[in-house]
């Protein structure tokens, strides 16, 4: 038994059914399988990325893996396999559209991977995951590091203290606030401002501004 386009035929149909049974539909459900599948998917995708990007460092590989195994990403894999149509949900989840919910779809996919492992062993599970993620891994590119990370790494490479970010002001209604942040660098001494619709966005803006100035300073020191 297999889902449409799913690259494994189950010898034990009960495992397939359990993997696609949400807890709202009673027991046995896929909660325990999802626990196991989460680790299996993470490890096997990490292996694929390790092979595909031999020059990537740990941070880059971690960011790549996060793109592939996030709840939203796994939900997309589940949709490609039409798992939503195969789910067994309780009445409440059916009425609320649970078969479309990212968290439920992602959990079902992870549970299905665990079910493959229990049904046919490691090699079959590994081949299944590699088949499903081959195209996604091949087209994935290492994301550019954000401004805060690049600033921190640049300062560390020069043996300088890390920057600090201070909230200067926040204005506006709760649903439309604007945040003003100051990035403070001890050496070389710099204070750069940033503004954004969230504190994180404002910090990134301030870090980007600081990068421009600090790169020029370091270039002139050569």
12, 31, 38, 174: the catalytic one is: 38
The kind and range of the H/E element at 122 are helix 122-139
Asked whether residue 123 is marked as a ligand-binding residue, the answer is no
Name the DSSP letter for residue 179.
E
CB 24 within 8 A of CB 92: yes
Helix axes 102-120, 122-139, angle to 10 degrees: 140
Residue 146 appears among annotated catalytic residues? no
CB 31 within 8 A of CB 23: yes
C-alpha to C-alpha distances, 211 to 146, 196, 205, 218, nearest whole angstrom? 11, 17, 10, 10
Residue 80 appears among annotated catalytic residues? no
CB 1 within 8 A of CB 13: yes
Asked whether residue 102 is marked as a ligand-binding residue, the answer is no
Residue in this structure with the two tokens 């968290």, named with its chain if needed: 103
Name the DSSP letter for residue 162.
P
Residue 89: φ, ψ to 5°: -120, 155
Asked whether residue 34 is marked as a ligand-binding residue, the answer is yes
What is the rounded CA–CA span in Å between residue 216 and residue 45? 40
58, 80, 82, 110: the catalytic one is: 110
Binding residue positions for Mg(2+): 34, 107, 110
Binding residue positions: 34, 107, 110
Catalytic site positions: 38, 110
């Amino acid at each position: 038994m297999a889902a449409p386009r799913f690259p494994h035929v189950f010898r034990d149909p009960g495992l397939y059914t359990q993997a696609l049974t949400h807890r709202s539909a009673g027991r046995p459900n896929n909660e325990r399988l999802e626990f196991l599948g989460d680790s299996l998917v993470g490890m096997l995708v990490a292996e694929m990325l390790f092979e595909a990007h031999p020059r990537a460092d740990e941070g880059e590989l971690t960011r790549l893996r996060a793109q592939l195994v996030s709840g939203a990403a796994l939900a997309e894999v589940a949709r490609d396999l039409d798992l939503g149509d195969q789910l067994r949900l309780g009445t409440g989840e059916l009425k609320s559209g649970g078969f479309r919910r990212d968290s439920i779809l992602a959990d079902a996919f992870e549970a299905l991977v665990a079910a493959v492992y229990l049904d046919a062993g490691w090699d079959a599970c590994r081949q299944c995951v590699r088949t499903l993620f081959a195209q996604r891994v091949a087209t994935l590119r290492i994301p550019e590091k954000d401004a805060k990370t690049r600033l921190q790494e640049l300062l560390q490479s020069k043996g300088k203290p890390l920057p600090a970010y201070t909230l200067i002001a926040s204005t506006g209604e709760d649903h439309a606030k604007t945040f003003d942040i100051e990035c403070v660098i001890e050496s070389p001494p710099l204070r750069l401002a940033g503004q954004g619709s969230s504190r994180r966005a404002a910090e990134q803006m301030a870090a980007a501004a600081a990068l421009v100035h600090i790169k020029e300073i370091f270039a002139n020191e050569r």
